[in-house]
């Protein structure tokens, strides 16, 4: 209904599914913002179908923060704008990055593990089981600038047979996770339940250099969970934002120590922190204007409205869909789901160690028959596109 609306709108598509819409959205006279770290490939696909510079282009917007929940119910708190804003105001100091001389931690990482977090599981194996942490410490100690800092790594393992075991390496971390990140030079942000990590943006805002998957292939692509190249915007920039993020990009967690060493080669920590601050300010300026661009376009010859046509299901088609859903729900549909580490959706799982953490999300993603299409077809024609 929104795509068919005759007046131009700025539509913000957020959440886990918006990175999987390449080729599926018709071009219209609306302005689309994909608030999703994995969405740059979708943005590129959408804009490639526009034929005139005046056509409203889609744009990337960051996914968001990891740790701003202010209530026990993560969904309720994420919808509580006033509480979230208060949390940001309470952390007003977060925008004032500490100089290198006041940092305590060379690198910090606090991460939970389970069967739906393959990238973190490989990171754990690299650091804990395969000697990666010793290599990491050797890199830190041989540089005079970092030898006086400490490294803090902590995993909480919720995989089967581990029962929430905590594994710590290096120095003990302070209990305030925000302050821990703020006092770190590097903050590791591996993919978790999603194809990305809210810690990327959070680390950057707190002045720590994010360490991320270069292409989300550190686990053979499982962590991308069906999304196209989740690191693309950060790694390469975009046509409307030609700036590469000064992050540490790692193509294999076994290469993490060497990637950090190369990142600091022939430069200083303070120089790298200054690059991060400059990039952040440039990004903030870019993002602030995106929601307002439509208003400016409307004053300067905005393209004509698109025309959309809905094709309903025939009576036989509708009855077939209902019968199919009835057959599906007559089975043991929940535990009949074949769970995999690369399946989309946070909490979208039958793994009990994860499902008990996200019971509100556990039944929304198992089969297309749960949520059949409402229309047989939906098409839009727009003078500014060839879709």
Average pLDDT over residues 254-259: 96
| Dist CA 233 CA 131 (whole Å) | 32
Closest residue by Cα to residue 114 from 355, 374, 327? 355
| Dist CA 194 CA 332 (whole Å) | 27
| Dist CA 206 CA 103 (whole Å) | 12
Task: Locate 249 and state its tokens.
Answer: 């990009």
Cα 190 to chain centroid distance, Å, stands at: 10
Predicted confidence (pLDDT) per residue in 282-324, tens digit: 999 999 998 888 777 776 667 788 889 999 999 999 999 999 8
Query: Is the model more confident about 101 or about 216?
Result: 101
Angle at 109 between CA 183 and CA 115, to 5 degrees: 160
The verdict on pTM exceeding 0.75 is: yes
* Residue 25, pLDDT above cutoff 70: yes
Phi, psi of 113, rounded to the nearest 5 degrees: -120, 140
| Dist CA 344 CA 265 (whole Å) | 38
**CB-CB contact of 170 with 150 (8 Å):** yes
Task: Give the single-character DSSP code of 269.
Answer: H
Categorize the per-residue pLDDT at 78 as very low, low, confident or very high, splitting at 50, 70 and 90: very low
| Dist CA 208 CA 221 (whole Å) | 26
**CB-CB contact of 66 with 198 (8 Å):** yes
Predicted confidence (pLDDT) per residue in 124-141, tens digit: 999 999 999 999 999 999
Predicted confidence (pLDDT) per residue in 323-374, tens digit: 988 888 888 877 777 777 777 666 667 777 777 776 655 555 667 777 788 8
DSSP string, 85-113: HHHHHHTGGGGSPPPGGG--EEEEEEEEE
| Dist CA 106 CA 142 (whole Å) | 13
DSSP string, 9-40: -EEEEESTTGGG-TTTS---SSEEEEE-TT-H
* Residue 166, pLDDT above cutoff 80: yes
Kindly give the interhelix angle for 132-141 and 256-263, rounded to the nearest 10 degrees: 20
Mean pLDDT score of the chain: 83
Phi, psi of 186, rounded to the nearest 5 degrees: -120, 140
């Amino acid at each position: 209904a929104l795509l068919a609306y005759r007046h131009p709108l700025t539509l913000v598509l957020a959440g886990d599914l918006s990175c999987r819409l390449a080729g599926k959205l018709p071009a219209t006279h609306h302005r689309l913002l994909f608030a999703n770290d994995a969405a740059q490939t979708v943005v590129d696909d959408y804009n490639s179908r526009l034929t005139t510079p005046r056509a409203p282009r889609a744009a990337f917007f960051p996914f968001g923060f990891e740790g701003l929940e202010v209530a026990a119910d993560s969904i309720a708190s994420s919808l509580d704008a006033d509480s979230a804003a208060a949390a940001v105001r309470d952390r007003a100091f977060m925008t004032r990055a500490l100089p290198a001389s006041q940092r305590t931690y060379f690198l910090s990482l606090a991460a939970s593990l389970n069967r739906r977090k393959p990238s973190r599981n490989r990171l754990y194996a690299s650091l804990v089981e395969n000697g990666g942490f010793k290599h990491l410490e050797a890199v830190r100690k041989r540089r005079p600038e970092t030898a006086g800092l400490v490294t803090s790594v902590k995993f909480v393992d919720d995989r089967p047979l581990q029962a929430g075991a905590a594994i710590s390496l290096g120095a003990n971390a302070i209990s305030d996770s925000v302050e821990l990140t703020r006092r770190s030079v590097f903050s590791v942000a591996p993919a978790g339940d999603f194809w990305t990590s809210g810690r990327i943006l959070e680390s950057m805002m707190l002045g720590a250099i994010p360490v991320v998957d270069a292409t989300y292939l550190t686990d053979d692509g499982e962590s991308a969970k069906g999304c196209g190249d989740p690191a693309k915007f950060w790694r390469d920039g975009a046509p409307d934002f030609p700036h590469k993020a000064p992050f540490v990009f790692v193509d294999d967690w076994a290469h993490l120590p060497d990637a950090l060493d190369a990142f600091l080669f022939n430069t200083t920590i303070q120089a790298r922190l200054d690059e991060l601050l400059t990039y952040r300010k440039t990004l903030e300026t870019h993002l602030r204007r995106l929601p307002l661009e439509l208003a400016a376009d409307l004053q300067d010859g905005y393209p004509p409205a698109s025309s959309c046509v809905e094709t309903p299901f025939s009576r036989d088609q509708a009855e077939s869909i209902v019968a199919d859903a009835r057959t599906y729900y007559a089975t043991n549909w929940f535990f009949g789901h074949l769970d995999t580490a690369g399946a989309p959706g946070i909490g979208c799982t039958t793994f009990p160690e994860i499902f008990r953490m996200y019971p509100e999300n556990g039944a929304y993603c198992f089969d297309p028959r749960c949520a059949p299409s409402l229309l047989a077809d939906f098409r839009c024609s727009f003078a500014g596109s060839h879709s």
